[in-house]
Structure 1
Amino acid sequence: MVDISRTADAPRSVHPVFRPSEDVPGWPEGALLRPSAQAHPLDWPAIARYLESHGLAFDEHVPARQFAGGLANLNYLVRLNGGWHVLRRPPDGPLPPGANDMRREHRILSRLWRELALAPRSLHLCEDEAVAGAPFQIIEFRSGIAVKGDDLTLLAGVPGIEAYLAGMIVDTLVAIHSVDLDAVGLAGLGRPDGFFRRAVQGWSDRAERVADGKLPSAAAHIIRWLAAVPDPRGGEAALLHNDFKLDNILLDPVSLRPAAVVDWDMGTRGDPLFDLATLLSYWSEPTDPACMLRLAQMPTARSGFPGREEVAQAYQRRAGRSVTAIKPYRVLTMLKLGVVFQQLHARFLTGDTRDSRYAAFGSLGEELHEFTIDIVNDRIF
């Protein structure tokens, strides 16, 4: 068993700062950027004119650069008014209900920074889709390391890094759930009453739609189970990130302490156990079936990381919140995860994305639902 009860001290030995993917003088350290030829094109002259009309002067000598990684929203490093910022907008094509919501994210990030130092500040929201093809935000840039997927190469050689990261993840989630929403004007965010039942209905409907009337047996079984299970009796509603995992935490390149939590476009208010269950849905273990290892969302199948049940118990200790009612949320978030991969596969089939990674997402989604049956039957936590 790995002890993750104390994570105040980051590992002493740290990796040097990581530089951009292209050696361009002046780019901020730690920014991993796509080659310019691989970037999703936007109408930058139109964007520059719009921003300048709102007091944000676009530096014409520093071209916008798209960040590497990510499966959905488009993020670009831009220089405005002499400082670095992020332009963030949804992907092209039809969007799933509730996802990629720039308006929601701006509402959260334009306020949350006052109470949660890890929240980057959203400075501007453009709702005119004619400017960039979709609504977009301008968010302050935070320099930091993002551990992408299951690859720990960036932190290779750091002693005890697995246990440190596990504890840091739990502590960060507890910090998010401790935010005083009244203090930042977000007490009215979301609709926590009936949250679980609405989420069950919403993700069941999405599963039906993405299957085009041919719902696989595992997904159908999960949906029936969720329809019959009583609503979990959770605690007081809290701020939810709604897609909390390691690559949404930027780490200071020197201390490895969290520098920012990003990707708040699905943020809301509800039972904190939903956020914890979302984290656990990404948390692979070395003895998991192949689909959870192919998922490759976090490096937690490596030796040194605790298992999902240990993580849940660590959250319970640190948050002072019982996790006994988490099973329905575990099943729900696994249903959601499988459907999300099937939705991404559908974007590949319709040509909305040409990213070859999406080609195998349909079968991965089905296998994740088959794995979920083991959670339903209490064979896996």
Structure 2
Amino acid sequence: MRPDTAPVRHGEELNAARLSAWLHSQLPDAGTGLSIEQFPNGHSNLVYLIRTGGQEYVLRRPPLGPVAPKAHDMAREFRVLDAVHSHFPEAPRVFLLCEDPAIAGATFFLMERRNGIVLRDEPPSEWASIPDYPAKVSEAFIDCLVRLQQIDVSEPKLAALGRPEGFLERQVRGWSDRWQRSKTEELPEMDRVIGWLHKIPPSGAPTLVHNDFKLDNVMLRPDASRVEAVLDWEMATLGDPLVDLGLTLCYWTWASQAQQDDPHPATPVITTHRGWYTRDQFIHRYVSQTGRDVTQLPWYEVLGVFKLAVILQQIYYRFHVGQTTDERFRAFDRRVRSLVRMAAELISRNS
């Protein structure tokens, strides 16, 4: 498998001495020595691989600089994973939470390291011997989403993770507010999208909602047969399950004009390659296993594209005002405009 860690980026280093002292105060048998590498592909939280005494841990902390209200809440993500893991083994096990910013600059937690394949732009070379891997991954990914939504959320620790009543209204209001706080230019099409989203459909029975369920947030087994882990649980809550389906489909790229004309596509293109499930096949497999009514699915798809646009805009805002110098974020304003066009296109198709 391709290496998934790299040296820590300049400016994002951890204080190894403080972290080591804290680890040994919490884990007396942690052993000697400490090495720190970084998982470099994420765009939001900072994620590190910690090796000590022959053990490996993953450390997650918020990005540098000010963060949006209620965003990047590591203590909450720790509680989510602690509640979910025993019901859904694809959720990594968590070990320790530290709310002392003197240790790593912000609240952070440690969780187990999972090993697997994270798909982004290209498949790993070892999958050359698995000619049907696109279909296998498509099925494994959909089936994992279905398993997540089948968890009984009446269990007390799970029931405490969210308030299903009024969930969709809060989603539209909250993400609209985040857009207003982070926008760096006026986009009239975005105003139209927000207005359209205020026509909120009735919700079905609540389930666990991951809120960022996409291909590069799952780890796959080397034989492509199953999802080994689901990552990035910071936005997980209880609510309408079609929110996850709509967001997932916005990443399951279709050959829209907005994508074809954009040299900076906002969503991955790997799912447009031969052998991957089409969006219709994706929806059919999901419905055949859940029996859910997807008549109003276009609304959830627009919500998904809208949320992704706001997430990227928040990241771009941090670059724009100098809170981060990560050059990966320089062109995110173009990606935001691409997503706004995509949302407007979806609305036009379904008007």
Give me the TM-score of the superposition, normalised by structure 2. Answer: 0.92
Q: 1:140 aligns with which of 112, 116, 131?
A: 112
CA distance in 2, matches of 1:358, 1:56: 40
Shift of 1:71: 0.8
What are structure 1's unaligned runs of at least 5 residues? Answer: 1-17, 21-31
Segment of structure 1 superposing worse, 51-60 or 198-207: 51-60
What amino acid does structure 1 have at the position aligned with 2:102? A
Q: 1:357 aligns with which of 308, 312, 328?
A: 328
Which residue is 1:370 aligned to?
341
Contact 1:342/1:361, CA 8 A, preserved across alignment: yes
Instruction: Please list, as runs of the form range in 1=range in 2, the aligned pairs for 1:67-86 lying within 5 A after superposition.
Output: 67-80=39-52, 82-86=54-58
Segment of structure 1 superposing worse, 215-224 or 322-331: 322-331
Shift of 1:369: 0.7
What amino acid does structure 2 have at the position aligned with 1:280? L
Contact 2:32/2:52, CA 8 A, preserved across alignment: no
CA distance in 1, matches of 2:40, 2:144: 24
CA distance in 2, matches of 1:288, 1:34: 36
Contact 2:88/2:148, CA 8 A, preserved across alignment: yes
Aligned residues: 348
- Paired residue secondary structure (1:181): coil
Q: 1:289 aligns with which of 248, 258, 262?
A: 258
CA-based RMSD: 2.2
Shift of 1:39: 7.9
- Paired residue secondary structure (2:109): strand
Decide whether aligned partners of structure 1 residues 307 and 43 sit closer, same or farther in structure 2, where only a CA change above 3 A counts: same
Decide whether aligned partners of structure 1 residues 162 and 38 sit closer, same or farther in structure 2, where only a CA change above 3 A counts: farther
Q: 1:99 aligns with which of 54, 71, 74?
A: 71
Segment of structure 1 superposing worse, 363-372 or 241-250: 363-372
What amino acid does structure 1 have at the position aligned with 2:219? L
Q: 1:277 aligns with which of 246, 259, 268?
A: 246
- Post-superposition CA distance 1:246-274 (Å, at most 9, x none): 11111122464221111111111100000
Decide whether aligned partners of structure 1 residues 283 and 244 sit closer, same or farther in structure 2, where only a CA change above 3 A counts: same
Which residue is 1:42 aligned to?
14
Shift of 1:237: 0.5
Shift of 1:47: 1.3
Decide whether aligned partners of structure 1 residues 38 and 157 sit closer, same or farther in structure 2, where only a CA change above 3 A counts: farther
The percentage of counterpart residues that share the same residue type is 37
Decide whether aligned partners of structure 1 residues 312 and 43 sit closer, same or farther in structure 2, where only a CA change above 3 A counts: same
Q: 1:260 aligns with which of 229, 254, 259?
A: 229
CA distance in 2, matches of 1:81, 1:252: 27
What amino acid does structure 2 have at the position aligned with 1:221? R
- Paired residue secondary structure (1:295): coil
- Post-superposition CA distance 1:183-230 (Å, at most 9, x none): 462112111110111111111112222225x53111011111122x1x
- Post-superposition CA distance 1:292-325 (Å, at most 9, x none): 9712436112122233233122211112222112
1:331 matches 2:316: no
- Paired residue secondary structure (2:20): helix
Instruction: Please list, as runs of the form range in 1=range in 2, the aligned pairs for 1:3-82 lying within 5 A after superposition.
Output: 18=1, 20=3, 32-36=4-8, 40-55=12-27, 57-80=29-52, 82=54
CA distance in 1, matches of 2:183, 2:55: 45
- Paired residue secondary structure (2:299): helix
Contact 2:58/2:111, CA 8 A, preserved across alignment: yes
CA distance in 1, matches of 2:203, 2:263: 27
Shift of 1:37: 6.2
Decide whether aligned partners of structure 1 residues 92 and 39 sit closer, same or farther in structure 2, where only a CA change above 3 A counts: closer
What amino acid does structure 1 have at the position aligned with 2:37? R
What amino acid does structure 2 have at the position aligned with 1:53? S
Decide whether aligned partners of structure 1 residues 349 and 287 sit closer, same or farther in structure 2, where only a CA change above 3 A counts: closer
Shift of 1:375: 1.1
Shift of 1:76: 1.3
- Paired residue secondary structure (1:185): helix
Report runs of 4+ in structure 1 exceeding 6 Å deviation: none
Which residue is 2:146 aligned to?
174
Q: 1:207 aligns with which of 162, 174, 179?
A: 179
What amino acid does structure 2 have at the position aligned with 1:108? V
Shift of 1:49: 1.3
Decide whether aligned partners of structure 1 residues 299 and 215 sit closer, same or farther in structure 2, where only a CA change above 3 A counts: same
Decide whether aligned partners of structure 1 residues 163 and 249 sit closer, same or farther in structure 2, where only a CA change above 3 A counts: same
Contact 2:77/2:234, CA 8 A, preserved across alignment: yes
Which residue is 1:232 aligned to?
201
- Paired residue secondary structure (1:376): helix
- Post-superposition CA distance 1:43-96 (Å, at most 9, x none): 121111122222255554341111231111111111346422111111111223
What amino acid does structure 2 have at the position aligned with 1:44? A
Decide whether aligned partners of structure 1 residues 276 and 37 sit closer, same or farther in structure 2, where only a CA change above 3 A counts: closer
Decide whether aligned partners of structure 1 residues 296 and 378 sit closer, same or farther in structure 2, where only a CA change above 3 A counts: closer
Decide whether aligned partners of structure 1 residues 288 and 40 sit closer, same or farther in structure 2, where only a CA change above 3 A counts: same
Decide whether aligned partners of structure 1 residues 285 and 328 sit closer, same or farther in structure 2, where only a CA change above 3 A counts: closer
CA distance in 2, matches of 1:86, 1:199: 30
Give me the TM-score of the superposition, normalised by structure 1. Answer: 0.85
Segment of structure 1 superposing worse, 78-87 or 108-117: 78-87
